[in-house]
Structure 1
Amino acid sequence: MDSHAIAAHPDPHAGHEHPPYLLHHFESVEQQHEAVSFGMWLFLLTEFMFFGGLFAAYLVYRNWYYPAFVAGSHQLSVVLGGINTVILIGSSFTMSMAVYAAQKRRKSALITWLTTTLLLGVVFLGIKASEYHEKWEQHHVPGLNFSVSDFVHVNPAFPGQPALALDMAEKTQVYFSLYFAMTGMHALHMIIGIAILAGLIIRARSGAYTSGHTNTVENFGLYWHFIDIVWNFLFPLLYLISRHQ
């Protein structure tokens, strides 16, 4: 191609700085931001569908075995569940502040808020691990380690009918199966989130997210808020069944 052809067809990117975080298959930072955000929302949609199935199973079995679910729920610590709820709400705030710090290109503030979010997540998992250990010691883990004797005496649904009380007490295994499945999947998402947070902190220390590229921090913030939302449904559904009685 001669010089006249080059002059007739100038490079559209000539004279424009190419940011290092702009991937080669995107024409602009705005296009990349929209594509990445759209992909993140699609991912969260699949997560909502996954947990939606668990919530649907919970509601069906709760309707079938309500007295058993009441008995099982009363074996959980509302205090520990409430503390974990406050911790996760606080971590959503610190994550929001991390996104704000990235947008304002404040490196030290970003690292501080990300680290605080990580620490809150670790505290949450520590409390949940303590609850799991307690359930194991009390023989409330479904399967060979499960004991129904604790629930026959606390089940108020069938006074004077020990056979029905024993049958419903055995149904508490359904409650604890859903309890461990739902809180376990939530804890797994927390562990994944904490691992990603550790990576974000390492990269943030080198200034990765304070040069105008905030997509990664913003999208992870959506993921972390999703974890918080799920727990805010799990807490009342699992911990607060008939607590007013």
Structure 2
Amino acid sequence: MDSQAIATHPDHTHAGHEHPPYLRHHFATVEQQRETSSFGMWLFLLTEIMFFGGMFAAYMIYRNWYYPAFVAGSHQLSIVLGTINTAVLICSSFTMAMGVYSAEMRRKSALVMWLLATIVLGVVFLGIKADEYHEKWEKHHVPGLNFSVQDFVRVNPAYPEDKALPLDMAEKTQVYFSLYFAMTGMHALHMIIGISILIGLVIKAQAGAYTQGHMTTIENFGLYWHFVDIVWIFLFPLLYLISRHQ
């Protein structure tokens, strides 16, 4: 292709609307770029579903095998803190959705505000989760050599309420806490990654990005954030609400 043809080719037009600055050179149109990015994001989320799905499957299998031990372990978790964290994440999904809406409406200040609100809620969630982890460490509920079940109370009505959980169930209870730390730990890691990305998005949004007609990045990150929230919606009842009735 000669220089004149290159100069008149739509993909090399700098002054027109055919080639906005955010359109990558290997895409013909903005719509093609958006659809490709969205497809890639959904494909990534599919791999995440398979990843967490494996842990959920392991949890359900061991819960069926060691149900009394899982019930005893669940009673060592705080429903209050778990409920607060659930509410925090639901609110963060709302603020993230409002961020996507603000980008669509090309409202820069609102976009930055909602992204910052999402960061704050994410940090609150991690702070509460860190407090829970600290409590488990102090009570020796972290699987390992110092793991202890002496303070567990049998919740089976057939036994006295003050009767300690038999020591032969210690290993089975460790399975519960191993899955607890593995599943909530991976979820927390996804939250940390998400907050780190959000900080970068806020910096770029303040510079004017995402409100000039190109909001695919915000949309795709919104999908990621909602996925992380949905994972917690499943974790909360499975880990915290096992046979809480007496």
Shared fold per TM-score greater than 0.5 = yes
Contact 2:115 2:202 in 1 (8 A): yes
For the aligned residue pairs, the C-alpha RMSD in angstroms reads 2.3
Whole-angstrom CA distance in 1 between matches of 2:63 and 2:78: 19
Provide the identity percentage.
Answer: 75
Aligned residue number for residue 48 of structure 2:
47
1:156 correspondence with 2:156: yes
Residue deviations 1:141-197 (CA, integer Å, cap 9, x gap): 00022112123x43528748x999322243110000000000000000000000000
The DSSP-based 3-state class of the residue aligned with 2:151 is: helix
Task: Report the residue type matching 2:131 in the other structure.
Answer: S
In the TM superposition, 1:17-36 aligns within 5 A as 17=17, 18-36=19-37
Whole-angstrom CA distance in 1 between matches of 2:10 and 2:110: 37
CA shift in 2, pair 1:163/1:84, >3 Å: closer
Aligned residue number for residue 81 of structure 2:
80
Residue deviations 1:103-130 (CA, integer Å, cap 9, x gap): 0000000000000000000000000000
CA shift in 2, pair 1:135/1:231, >3 Å: same
Whole-angstrom CA distance in 2 between matches of 1:90 and 1:97: 11
TM-score using structure 2 length: 0.91
Whole-angstrom CA distance in 2 between matches of 1:189 and 1:77: 22
Count, aligned residues: 240
5+ residue gaps, structure 1, are: none
Aligned residue number for residue 145 of structure 1:
146
CA shift in 2, pair 1:163/1:141, >3 Å: closer
Contact 2:106 2:212 in 1 (8 A): yes
CA shift for structure 1 position 16 = 3.7
Task: Report the residue type matching 2:92 in the other structure.
Answer: S
The DSSP-based 3-state class of the residue aligned with 1:75 is: coil
In the TM superposition, 1:109-128 aligns within 5 A as 109-128=110-129
TM-score using structure 1 length: 0.92
Whole-angstrom CA distance in 2 between matches of 1:164 and 1:188: 32
Larger mean CA deviation between 166-175 and 177-186 belongs to 166-175
The DSSP-based 3-state class of the residue aligned with 1:154 is: coil
CA shift for structure 1 position 2 = 9.1
1:235 correspondence with 2:236: yes
Aligned residue number for residue 90 of structure 2:
89
1:200 correspondence with 2:198: no
5+ residue gaps, structure 2, are: none
Task: Report the residue type matching 2:242 in the other structure.
Answer: I
